[in-house]
Amino acid sequence: MADGQCPACNAALDGQSGTMTKVTIFQHGPCGRVCMKCGTQTPETVRVRRKARNSNYKPTAVSSLEAHPLAHLLNFVAGKYHQTVEVTVPLCANCRKTGPGEPKYIDFEARSMTFIGHRNWKENVERERQNLKGT
């Protein structure tokens, strides 16, 4: 970054010397009160929800009851075939027009999403996590 280029992709930073960074938000954890895109204080939030097929669920026909088509339908409706992660991220009114952006990584086991966001947002989230640990 000393030469004004991103160390990962060699793209020019145009004077933005590291204002964006990775931020991981957990489903039931703090999300911060700083806009994820511009880094300004905001009380406004949006929900980001992603759903994917649950590769961990393998239905087995141990008994004739589990092999019945109605059992498969009930398992589908109960949500066993899919996993969902929903997090809340802060987004000010100006940045809301473009949307929160796509998560770069989704961890369905830990119920978290990783975004590329403003460094102020990351610092705010880490402070909130520290405050929760302290209480």
**pLDDT 10s digits, 5-19:** 665 566 665 655 568
- What's the chain's average pLDDT? 80
Q: Which residues pair with 23 in a beta bridge?
A: 115
CA distance 42 to 45: 8
Q: What is the pLDDT of residue 1?
A: 46
CA distance 36 to 24: 11
**pLDDT 10s digits, 50-90:** 887 666 556 665 656 666 677 666 666 666 666 788 999 99
**What residues does each domain of the chain span?**
20-134
CA distance 66 to 64: 6
Q: What is the pLDDT of residue 36?
A: 93
Pick from 70, 99, 87: nearest CA to 24: 87
Q: What is the pLDDT of residue 78?
A: 60
Write the CA distances from 101 to 39, 76, 80, 97, 105, integer angstroms: 15, 29, 28, 11, 12
Q: What is the pLDDT of residue 31?
A: 92
**Higher per-residue confidence, 9 vs 98:** 98
